[in-house]
Structure 1
């Protein structure tokens, strides 16, 4: 197993180096102008300039904060609603049309509305992230709670367990693998939600830098912003994977999602 992981890691590194080499020398070989696809070294130089002159680290921190808050609040809301709907089919019948309508509505359309309500602050970006994160977590938890092994529930009931004890000892632990599957998806969607909010009505954050670079025709700055957003998403996803492995270490490897 360890040797397989080492080979996989080496393969990923080789692939990354090949990609960077193609990015560095490919545009020149193809005669592609810098304003369409800048070389990798040009993007690195632009990132250093933005770090010194445009407070890249501050904008990175603002976006990362919005992603963390939006992801956390959206996940908690999705978990709570998923549990409630999973335990109460009647409540699901009443609320599911409205939840479905909220999910179908394009989230981009909400961003200008939130900006009109809350101004050019961090709150519209967080709200868009919450909306996008909510549904995958909710639907995963709902499905998991509904498919709990009834024999396990009956066994705990024979031991005179109350409703809360059944949920704590059987239903919630059974839903954890599905919850983390939803959290993996949500960790990447949170970055998308925040970016949409910053693109529509931002005066700070990486989305703002991306729009600013596009307005100036600075393609390298756009690539820097995209790379920084990708880094936030990768770190968020890795944090969820780490938490999953720590909390679900008791499950067989086949039952735990792979990276």
Structure 2
């Protein structure tokens, strides 16, 4: 494990935190009473949030299976990984390609405590964890270079993380710096909350979250999410509800319901 800065921040058990609340919504066990209270209140305001969390996790699995399988990617930079649950990036990728190398990035102290659960790997591959902030892509790239070879394609996974960079210009700059560091054939996968698919209840739930939990969240439009993919070739079906990005349904099966979370994957030409 490689850490940056002076060490992880102190865990605040009295303020709900996204990583822990998300873990609660996914059925995990790594959360405090305040996370459960805030999580339950958000569910009361916006019951579909649990489906958003599950759809986002399912998108991760489908995207990694595509990237490690059809696209032949063997390196993954997973930024904002959150608390480990099931079907983490390294598990999905190394099941397909045991030699895959994965670097996780997060800066939540609870995630850091549980990082060792992520630090498992097939004998042929590698898995590492970096304690770093999405706002500091240079630190991320420098530390990740100890595990990843940036002369070979990398899949940059940014699921549910750019919404914690409130300034859209800053968020674009972070993505651009990361994409500039990887070669042709690399991919960018993003999920991001939106009000375009969620309606007024979602807006109220986000407002409650920002007043009662950390870090504050920012929803974005399809056009704003599209700006993160400038310079890449968006894969079909483009920017859609993450539940509808290449869903695994039987032939002729009904399309899954939309959730208020965009999902997309782009390839750097």
Q: TM-score, normalised by structure 1?
A: 0.27
Normalized per residue, the structure richer in helix is 1
**More strand as a share of residues:** 2
